Chain A
């Protein structure tokens, strides 16, 4: 059974119909790359999966946790879904280590010592073992984003959502973050990522999903989609970024 199942998802912002019936399945260990023009609904779709956006119709299921339209109790679902944001959103008043420890301590109520060892392990995983005591404003953008990844991983999510996580970075810092994502993918982490890094999407993604005007316009193996797009919209999109 699919790890993530999205059925007939509809979302409006006021009169703006942003998601027009999304159906998507993500298997365990699959890496899905979401692409599409700005405003096509990629972020909204991603944010619906962990309940950051409400939706009016449809169903989302993650590892057996069901999310209905208008549902407000999201604690169980959110423990299974990690998210990394474009703007990092680290907690500025906490050190890198404290950022990573917070949720295991507060939400999972694990003993402090255990949380600390989890945090050290996660920071080591993203190559920042020595930055445990550094505060966010003492870190580069790439380092902050890696801490954000470690923070999400500390909750041992079943799936990790990444929304353009390299878009706010200086070009020379992009690769260190992508390298971490690539490692996660290789380790079998289930990933759904919105990205403008087409080469990366093609290299790491198992499935490419092209969104257009609130719908999944085309999806399939990245190589196939890139070399033989079936729709003029995708062909156009690929043309516009090369």
Chain B
């Protein structure tokens, strides 16, 4: 099978990079929205909402992403719902991402001093208004660095979805490795692809962290 040129390999891998990127973005955006809902549930005054959100987070943080994907992919077909690998992957990664982001953000909200809650409460702001105008603007500043940092985990997490047959970078790589008998070259390039996606995010996150500690911008 030596009729596959290096250029073909690279072109196919670039395609895989795009799918990996698309899946990461989808999971990150949808997971972020769900995570925000989880955050509100996690600090709600209603006890059952708090417990529900906590249970959700513990389930998705306490089991391997691979198992979650298996259960969604095979479980859905068991109940007669044929999810495509893309849909199952997007759903699984979204749930996974939401659990982590919800928990990261809860930590940020809780690091806002209690006095901020009390002062805004004593001014008669409702819980939602306190969040909107006082707590979240302060928590956001703390949250940016760990959120960007976690996005690296999301990108790497997409590799697992190759196992349920979603053709992203890793899956493209294993198909090409089989076809070309050059696994070292192919997976080297695959790794380079992940690095190209993740390294800028890590650097960005570290820089944000430094500036969050260094300055007290308004």
Please list the residues of chain A having a beta carbon within 8 angstroms of any beta carbon in chain B. Answer: 50-52, 72, 74-75, 78-79, 81-83, 85, 87, 89-93, 95, 102-103, 106-107, 135, 137, 148, 151-152, 155
Contacts and interface: CB of A to CB of B under 8 A. Distances in A.
B118 A78 contact: no
B125 interface: yes
A91 B116 CA distance: 7
B126 A89 contact: no
B119 A85 contact: yes
B133 A85 contact: no
Contact of B216 (A72, A91, A137): A137
A81 B124 CA distance: 9
B133 A89 contact: no
A44 to B, nearest CB: 13
A52 B116 CA distance: 12
B121 interface: yes
Interface in B106-134: 113, 115-116, 118-126, 129, 133-134
B122 A135 contact: no
Interface of B is mostly: helix
A6 B129 CA distance: 29
B122 to A, nearest CB: 4
A83 B122 CA distance: 6
Given A93-B138, A93-B218, A102-B133, A75 B126 contact: yes
Contact of A91 (B122, B129, B134, B141): B134
B124 A75 contact: yes
B124 A79 contact: yes
B167 to A, nearest CB: 45
A93 B218 CA distance: 5
Contacts of A82: 122
Contact of B122 (A78, A92, A102): A78
Nearest to B122: A83
Nearest to A51: B121
A103 B134 CA distance: 11
B216 A152 contact: no
Interface size on B, as a range, is 20 to 34
Given A87-B115, A91-B119, A93-B218, A107 B138 contact: no
A89 B218 contact: no
Contacts of A74: 121, 124
A135 B116 CA distance: 15
Nearest to B124: A78
Contacts of A79: 124
Contacts of A75: 124, 126
Contact of A52 (B113, B121, B126): B121
A92 to B, nearest CB: 7
Contacts of A81: 122
Nearest to B121: A52
A54 to B, nearest CB: 12
B188 interface: no
A95 B218 CA distance: 9
B137 interface: yes
Given A92-B138, A93-B138, A102-B133, A155 B116 contact: no
Contacts of A83: 119, 122
B63 interface: no
Contacts of A72: 45
A85 B123 contact: no
A15 to B, nearest CB: 22
A81 B121 CA distance: 11
A93 B134 CA distance: 8
8 smallest CB-CB distances across A and B, nearest first, come from A89-B119, A78-B124, A103-B123, A89-B115, A83-B122, A79-B124, A107-B124, A93-B137
B129 A107 contact: yes
Nearest to B118: A52
A83 B113 CA distance: 17
Contacts of A78: 121-124
